[in-house]
Amino acid sequence: MKSIQFYSILSFVLLLSFTSIAQTDKQKELEERRQSILQEITNIKSFLFKTRGEKKTVLTEVEDLSQQIRARENLIRVTNQQANLLTREINNNQSKIEQLRDELVELKEDYGAMIRKSYKSKSQQSRVMFLLSSEDFLQAYKRLQYMKQYAKHRKKEGEKIKEKSALLLILNQDLIDQKKQKDKLIDENRIAKRALDKEKKEQEALIATLKKDEGNYASQINKKQKEAAAIEREIDAIIKAAIAKANKAAGVETKTEATKTKLAFALTPEAKALASDFTKNKGKLPWPVEKGVVVGRYGNQPDPLLPNITRSHSGVEIATAANEEAQAVFGGEVMRVQDLKGTKAVYILHGNYITIYSNLISLNVKAGDKVVTKQKLGRIFENPLTGKTILKFYIYQNTSKMNPADWLYRM
């Protein structure tokens, strides 16, 4: 019976430990996400709202508010998840505390009964008399062993009470800490919700202004889309020409799209190893800027104002600080430097992968240069009309577009 009770206590403690570890890991993950979103909100304020009310158009104001609202909604959602997890942890701890208290009461009652029995036994006859009244030496020896075991058992039961009492104190303190943490998260969420409501009202007022001139707004979006499509065609042509040139130099015939086979670099063993290393780092590549916030996401995105308009990006647009420099996300060779309208783009080849850093105003590298991870490539252009510094970043594998969010760390 006592053995069963011991294993029951051991199982309870182990279960408590494993549950606590799992919950702690989940809380840690949520807290990291919350801190990441808080940093994103700080970056949005720093990179998008630094010239608010001075240079921005109404359209730009709406777009920036959309970024902030999206981040704020994510913050509220993650904070709610943290608070809900804490609620479950608090409920679990309360159940464990009640169970421990019941077990402690039972242990103390058993221990008290044992002490009373021992006292009565002691008052009736001394230990010496108990031993001397033995019929023979063997019986005396057995009685001595019994007395030792009984004393040992009393000590063990007393230790169990101490251990359970200590565990109860720990759980009570955890409960107090968890309740404080939950109250803090709830207070922070109230503040975030008030800020969100204010931003949404501000955005609604700006949208109402834009709606009065919806045709002009739509034409601005269409103009941006045409410019983006033209840039995409240029990138496609540059990559195809680079593949053809590299393959010709290697003495390899370049397959055309007419054969229904996509164009691809004929890789040397070194280039194949570099491409393999690039692939292994998927999801772990550093951002192409020290600090930034994504303001244009990859793929087709519905317009926040006009649902019938879809915005398309072949890469991502990242707002960053003024005078910030673009940095290589992986080692490779500068394949090409492209001159655009007043800005430049750097193409870096990583085996059969290409990363492109566009909207640079000055360069630190030239075609043929070998670069390493995080090497500075050039300063990013700051738009004098909006006051924004935005890097346009693309990843291609041969001629296939890749989503940078799948490759860059925590994008």
| Mean pLDDT, residues 125-130 taken together | 58
Provide the pLDDT confidence category of residue 17 given band limits of 50, 70 and 90: low
Residue 354 in 3-state DSSP? strand
Check residue 362 and give its pLDDT.
Answer: 95
Q: Is the dihedral of CA 231, 236, 242, 248 positive or negative?
A: negative
Q: Does 223 or 355 have the greater pLDDT score?
A: 355
Radius of gyration of the chain (CA): 35
Q: Please check the confidence at residue 117 and state whether its pLDDT lies above 80.
A: no
Say if residue 301 is in the same domain as residue 182: no
CATH code (residue 317): 2.70.70.10
Provide the residue range defining the domain that includes 364: 231-406
- Looking at 157, 176, 211, which one is the last position of a domain? 211
Check residue 115 and give its pLDDT.
Answer: 67
Q: Please check the confidence at residue 50 and state whether its pLDDT lies above 70.
A: no
Query: What is the reported pTM?
Result: 0.71
Say if residue 152 is in the same domain as residue 295: no
Which tens digits make up the pLDDT trace of 266-293?
999 999 999 999 999 999 999 999 999 9
How many structural domains compose the chain? 2
Say if residue 249 is in the same domain as residue 365: yes
Contact 316, 297 (CB under 8 A): yes
Closest residue by Cα to residue 388 from 5, 28, 47: 47
Q: Does 20 or 185 have the greater pLDDT score?
A: 185
Q: Please check the confidence at residue 5 and state whether its pLDDT lies above 70.
A: no
| Mean pLDDT, residues 227-236 taken together | 90
Q: Does 205 or 405 have the greater pLDDT score?
A: 405
In order of 52, 65, 252, the CA distances from 61 in angstroms are: 8, 6, 52
Look-up of token digits 């009652």: 109
Which tens digits make up the pLDDT trace of 332-344?
999 999 998 889 9
User: Would you give the distance in Å from CA 36 to the centre of its chain?
Assistant: 7
Check residue 53 and give its pLDDT.
Answer: 47
Say if residue 254 is in the same domain as residue 192: no
In angstroms, rounded to a whole number, what is the distance separating the alpha carbons of residues 64 and 47? 10
Q: Does 53 or 72 have the greater pLDDT score?
A: 72
Residue 243 domain-assigned (yes or no) = yes
Residue 411 domain-assigned (yes or no) = no
Residue 26 domain-assigned (yes or no) = yes
Which tens digits make up the pLDDT trace of 362-379?
999 999 999 999 999 999
Check residue 387 and give its pLDDT.
Answer: 85
Which tens digits make up the pLDDT trace of 77-108?
999 999 998 888 888 878 877 877 777 777 77
Residue 277 domain-assigned (yes or no) = yes
Check residue 259 and give its pLDDT.
Answer: 44
Say if residue 203 is in the same domain as residue 128: yes
In angstroms, rounded to a whole number, what is the distance separating the alpha carbons of residues 247 and 92? 64
- Looking at 154, 179, 211, which one is the last position of a domain? 211
DSSP letter for each residue of 246-305: HHHHTT-PPPPGGGT--------HHHHHHHHHHHHTTTTBPPSSSS-EEEE-SEEEE-SS
Which tens digits make up the pLDDT trace of 286-329?
999 999 999 989 998 877 666 677 778 899 999 999 999 999 99
Q: What is the mean pLDDT of the chain?
A: 83
- Looking at 182, 211, 240, which one is the last position of a domain? 211
Say if residue 205 is in the same domain as residue 236: no
Q: Please check the confidence at residue 151 and state whether its pLDDT lies above 70.
A: no
In angstroms, rounded to a whole number, what is the distance separating the alpha carbons of residues 340 and 358? 9
Query: For a pLDDT cut of 90, what percent of the chain falls above it?
Result: 44
Kindly report the number of other CB atoms within 10 A of residue 78's CB atom. 22
Contact 373, 329 (CB under 8 A): yes
CATH code (residue 58): 1.10.287
Q: Does 60 or 86 have the greater pLDDT score?
A: 86
Check residue 301 and give its pLDDT.
Answer: 80
Look-up of token digits 């600090």: 291
- 353-363 and 332-339 beta bridge pairing: unpaired
| Count of residues making up the chain | 411
Residue 55 domain-assigned (yes or no) = yes
- Both structure tokens of 71: 């981040």
Provide the pLDDT confidence category of residue 260 given band limits of 50, 70 and 90: very low
Say if residue 177 is in the same domain as residue 286: no
